[in-house]
Amino acid sequence: MEIVLNSYNTLIASALVMLIGHWLVFRIKFLSAFNIPEPVAGGLLAALVITLLNAATGLTLKLDTELQTTFMLMFFASIGLGADFTRLKKGGKPLVMLLALVSVFIVVQNIIGVSLAALLGLKPLIGLMVGSITLTGGHGTAGAWGPVLETQYGIAGATTLGIATATFGLVFGGLIGGPVARHLVRSQHREPVRNARERTGIEAISGTPRHEQGTESEEANRLTFELFDQPRLITAYAAIETLAMFAACLTSADLLGRWTQGTALELPTFIWALASGVVLRNVLTHIFRFQMFDRAIDVFSNVSLSLFLAIALISLRLWELASLAGPVTVILAAQVVVMMLYAIFITYRFMGSDYDAAVVAAGHCGFGLGATPTAIANMQAVTDRFGPSYKAYLTVPLVGAFFVDLINAAILQIFTQIPFLQ
């Protein structure tokens, strides 16, 4: 038996899933501690219920995919619209260095994924779904690449695998960040802030000059990373203005996708949406001196991602993952170990081998396996104990929330075109 939901029913179902997810995250400490997104919490519960019903009665659920595609394209357009390249200047050399380190790690992550997938008898491209698509990219990128791998490369259950892997990454990205940072900080023989105060009566010295401690890191945190549930003041005019920009990005993505189909420039539509957002943002800002309303972009970004994830998760067919469970677990375990080693021996050393570098390494663990909120949570756990780090709070959110998706999209496109991986 198959239940078919039209676009209106799909929107209602996704809204209900988000409300249930909100309640679960509020009530279950584990979910909030590891920054599990509300649509993921509610959606996985819905997917589990549907799986049990399928096992008992053969029931399947089919949702309207047009809304899902629209919300997915809006989310990637929002990433582009938020990518103002003047922020590179604010971050300076540390930001450029972290971008380079993250780029190399994305390549490493994908090499590990495809290599182990081939060794374990899986299609090599499955390794990308257990690589940077889901771990660096997160749920949004997983939901976008899943249908591409399913339709163009014949990998059944890619979307389901992607959502499950991205959730795994969120949890372990939060688990390893703290231990990695503690190991690095202890190697510097650094005392917790409280102990230093008790012993000397002054603030512990951080990578930031003492007179700048606290205020600058707090300001950097406030300016460069905005919590998804933080109240925002948005006018009707700003909302309409922002919707028009999203519409322009989606129209551009649709046209470019049609014009390049079957050519060497053919790319997934969501990449065109992201690229259109980048061009529109920087042209409007730097040529026409247009004042972008970032708060409105953030709100529409969060709403579109939440609805997209809710619809994608309700559509999951968890029973399709049974044959992949063992090999995927091996690959994920390897990815966690490599992330820890890379953060300790590469990220930490190239970012300066000081306290700031230790906090950055913790943040890299967060968005290298999970997402930017996980990175922020990791860094907060360290700075609450050992003191503030202005450099980390300036560079990590900018890389994790904006530029990493641009880099990841470009690298993934190269990997998918390698003949022996297909």
pLDDT digits (tens, 9 = 90+) for 148-204: 898 888 888 888 899 889 888 887 888 888 889 889 998 888 878 655 444 444 443
pLDDT digits (tens, 9 = 90+) for 12-27: 999 999 999 999 988 9
Residue 248: pLDDT over 80 = yes
The share of the chain scoring above pLDDT 90, in percent, equals 30
Residue 63 has phi, psi (to 5 degrees) of -110, 155
* Sign of the CA dihedral with 192 first, then 194, 196, and 202 last: positive
Mean pLDDT (the chain, rounded): 83
Residue type, 88: L
pLDDT of residue 69: 86
Q: Are 253 and 81 in contact (CB under 8 A)?
A: no
Angstrom CA distances, 419 to 123, 124, 125, stand at 12, 11, 11
pLDDT digits (tens, 9 = 90+) for 297-324: 888 988 888 888 888 878 777 776 666 7
Long-range contacts of 23-28 (CB under 8 A, 24+ apart): none
* Sign of the CA dihedral with 363 first, then 369, 371, and 374 last: negative
**Lowest-pLDDT range of 86-95, 184-193, 411-420:** 86-95
Q: Which of 123-127, 189-193, 227-231, 260-264 has the highest mean pLDDT?
A: 123-127
Query: What does the domain layout of the chain look like in residue ranges?
Result: 2-421
Instruction: Please choose, from the candidates 141, 101, 138, the residue with its C-alpha nearest in 3D space to the C-alpha of residue 361.
Output: 101
Average pLDDT estimate for 42-70: 85
Q: How many Å apart are CA 349 and CA 382, to the nearest integer?
A: 18
pLDDT of residue 243: 94
The count of other CB atoms within 10 Å of the CB of residue 163 is: 26
Calculate Rg over the CA atoms of the chain. 21
Residue 372: pLDDT over 60 = yes
Check residues 389 and 245 and name the one with the higher pLDDT: 245
pTM (2 d.p.): 0.73
Helix (H, G, I), strand (E, B) or coil at 85: coil
Check residues 244 and 388 and name the one with the higher pLDDT: 244
The count of other CB atoms within 10 Å of the CB of residue 202 is: 9
